[in-house]
Amino acid sequence: MIMQTHTVFNQAKPLVDYNMYATDFILKELCTAYGAGWSESSLESFGAFAGSAEANAWAVQANTSEPVLHTHDRFGNRIDEVEYHPAYHQLMSASIENSLHCLPWREAKPGAHVARAALMYMSYQNEGGHCCPISMTYSVVPSLRKQPDLAGSWEPLILSTSYDSRFRPATQKKGITLGMGMTEKQGGSDVRANTTSATPVAQPGPGKEYLLTGHKWFVSAPMSDAFLVLAQAKAGLSCFLVPRWKPDGARNGLFLQRLKDKLGNRSNASSEIEFVDALGWLVGEEGRGVPTIIEMVNHTRLDCTIGSAALMRQATLQALHHCHHRSTFGKRLSEHPLMLNVLADLSLEWEAGTRLMMRVARAYDRAAGEEGEALFKRVGSAIAKYWLCKRGPMHVAEALECLGGNGYVEESPMPRLYRETPVLGIWEGSGNVICLDVLRAIGKEPETVDALVAELDAALGESARLDSFLASIKDNLSKLKKNGELKDPAAAARHEQGARLLVERLALALQATLMLRQAPGPVAVEFINSRLDRQGGLAFGTLSAGADVKAIVERAYPFSA
């Protein structure tokens, strides 16, 4: 006989069955302000799905039952297939049916990148692992379009909103996903150290067939239907489209060696792949592999920024939900002044991160028609990616601490959120690579400085503290913009050593400018006070004693207590 010794009480219920879009007033506000109001109904619909108990259950299942690699069948034939839990396929299907992998390419409307950013923002909150192949499929299109004949054949399948997980030639499927293979063991981020070779089958040149042989150290989503791959051709590092199947229906020479045992992103398989005379088509010119694939990289960087903001949003919500429903020492956790300070600080970080992310997404919408927006997109993507991906892990860790032991156990969503944050800082360029890219952008296109200054000056005169902070930054940028400053080896070394601080200050300045222009005055002022002149401490929960922490928290938590 089982004896019941206690009644469970003073516990929060799971945060499920809510609409992620309808309850996120900042997301709604920015979608409208940035021209994506036409997508309201689809955002509402997807928000209901992403916050549902069913979708949350799929997220748990997909991460508990991890992908399994089958290199051979039971007869000894090589098959190189990865088996996923059905929940993973359910999540993939939902994202593809809602065009997360292709919306701006299907809908040539103002605000399409902003609308997609909002969709990805909600999808990441639900389950981040499957967002990797979704992101790569979206990001491949601008690079593939540099080879129009290949784009003409592959893009219709990419733009399909039918998810087809069957392992068969792309021409026999209703829709496809694409991946990327860049890094190798000996090089990592230094892709020019790649040794994978590419030999033309007949005549070399753009759109022609080549055979690739080599080893890729980290290829995510290996069941994708094709990959953009970097390999060494006669003229140097080049970009190739390599499918899993050959046009004649035979399996291509791609062999999965093993799946990575990763810290997080566990629902998504990442692998090592051997290419043995794998058939591929040259995308762009020989020797121009990095410039060809860079547009794919830039779009995945945008998605890393989206993912980091999304994980901060969900972590903030989980902390607020717990603290509004759990009591200690005679009152709710959210009523204790010190906890309120922590919750308000987390809320400020999430709001500023989301505003910066959506501002960058807006630049992707406008880059084609406005030179200033194109320049801002170029450098703003890197700045936002660096800073939000740096803030994400420490933000989620602090939010987890708000839940205490309830957040540290695997039944909680917090461990999954926490494990997902570091990959976004590593994916498509770790912090140092991103900061060097900012310097490279300024050095090669000094006009990017003008675009940054124009953005920062939009709030000039609204805050003395921000004005002082901006004056220091603009002085630094002016020195960088000088002809030859980054070309002199000694000066370049000094600037490289200080690149992280520069990019951090630029990110904070952009966030402060956006907060001052868009958020209520007291909220913006508290962000500026706590982030720009160090009135606050280095840890979360150190806002000034005069901060209206209750009002900040109420903005972030949309539910009745």
Q: Which helix (H) or strand (E) holds 69?
A: strand 68-72
* Same domain flag for 314 and 455: yes
391 assigned to some structural domain? yes
Residues 181, 399: Cα–Cα separation, whole Å: 34
15 assigned to some structural domain? no
Residues in contact with 477: Cβ distance below 8 Å, sequence separation at least 6, in sequence order: 442, 449, 452, 453
* Same domain flag for 200 and 77: no
pLDDT of residue 188: 85
* Residue labelled with tokens 């084609």: 368
164 assigned to some structural domain? no
390 pLDDT higher than 70: yes
pLDDT level of residue 495 (50, 70, 90 thresholds)? confident
* Same domain flag for 300 and 441: yes
The residue from 158, 186, 217 where one domain ends is: 158
For the segment 416-439, the average pLDDT, to the nearest whole number, is 94
Residue 52 has which token pair? 């549902």
Between strands 68-72 and 209-220, the pairing is unpaired
pLDDT of residue 143: 97
Residue 410 has which token pair? 């695997």
* Same domain flag for 256 and 376: no
pLDDT level of residue 6 (50, 70, 90 thresholds)? confident
Vertex 521, ends 515 and 525: CA angle to 5°? 70
Residues 138, 130: Cα–Cα separation, whole Å: 13
251 assigned to some structural domain? yes
pLDDT level of residue 1 (50, 70, 90 thresholds)? low
Helix (H, G, I), strand (E, B) or coil at 195: coil
349 assigned to some structural domain? yes
pLDDT of residue 484: 58
33 assigned to some structural domain? yes
For the segment 128-142, the average pLDDT, to the nearest whole number, is 98
Vertex 20, ends 19 and 26: CA angle to 5°? 125
* Same domain flag for 466 and 359: yes
Query: Per-residue pLDDT tens for 172-198?
Result: 999 999 999 999 999 888 888 999 999
pLDDT of residue 428: 80
* Same domain flag for 453 and 483: yes
For the segment 204-220, the average pLDDT, to the nearest whole number, is 97
Residues 304, 434: Cα–Cα separation, whole Å: 12
Residue 160 has which token pair? 């399909």
* Same domain flag for 382 and 515: yes
210 pLDDT higher than 90: yes
Helices (H) and strands (E) in the chain, counts: 20, 11
pLDDT level of residue 537 (50, 70, 90 thresholds)? confident
* Same domain flag for 281 and 298: no
pLDDT of residue 4: 80
* Same domain flag for 461 and 531: yes
* Same domain flag for 104 and 190: no
Indicate which CATH number applies to the domain containing 392. 1.20.140.10
For the chain, percent of residues with pLDDT exceeding 70: 98
8 assigned to some structural domain? no
487 pLDDT higher than 80: no
Q: Which helix (H) or strand (E) holds 499?
A: helix 499-518
For the segment 534-538, the average pLDDT, to the nearest whole number, is 76
451 φ/ψ angles, rounded to the nearest 5 degrees: -65, -40
Q: How many domains does the chain have?
A: 3
* Same domain flag for 178 and 205: yes
The residue from 158, 185, 214 where one domain ends is: 158
Give the other-Cβ count within 10 Å of 484's Cβ: 9
Residues in contact with 439: Cβ distance below 8 Å, sequence separation at least 6, in sequence order: 480, 486, 492, 495, 496, 499
Residues 369, 103: Cα–Cα separation, whole Å: 19
pLDDT of residue 344: 98
- Contact by Cβ (8 Å): 390, 431: yes
Indicate which CATH number applies to the domain containing 240. 2.40.110.20
534 pLDDT higher than 70: no
- Contact by Cβ (8 Å): 253, 275: yes
For the segment 307-321, the average pLDDT, to the nearest whole number, is 98
pLDDT level of residue 561 (50, 70, 90 thresholds)? low
Query: Per-residue pLDDT tens for 239-285?
Result: 999 999 999 999 999 999 999 999 999 999 999 999 999 999 999 99
Query: Per-residue pLDDT tens for 25-63?
Result: 999 999 999 999 999 999 999 999 999 999 999 999 999
pLDDT of residue 108: 86
For the segment 377-384, the average pLDDT, to the nearest whole number, is 97
pLDDT level of residue 152 (50, 70, 90 thresholds)? very high
Query: Per-residue pLDDT tens for 93-123?
Result: 999 999 999 999 998 899 999 999 999 999 9
355 assigned to some structural domain? yes
Q: Which helix (H) or strand (E) holds 91?
A: helix 86-97
| pLDDT averaged over every residue in the chain | 95
* Same domain flag for 121 and 188: no
Query: Per-residue pLDDT tens for 324-355?
Result: 999 999 999 999 999 999 999 999 999 999 99
203 pLDDT higher than 70: yes
Dihedral of CA 281/287/289/294: which sign?
negative
For residue 313, the enclosing domain spans 292-556
The residue from 227, 262, 288 where one domain ends is: 288
Residues 104, 113: Cα–Cα separation, whole Å: 6
482 pLDDT higher than 80: no
* Residue labelled with tokens 């209901």: 48
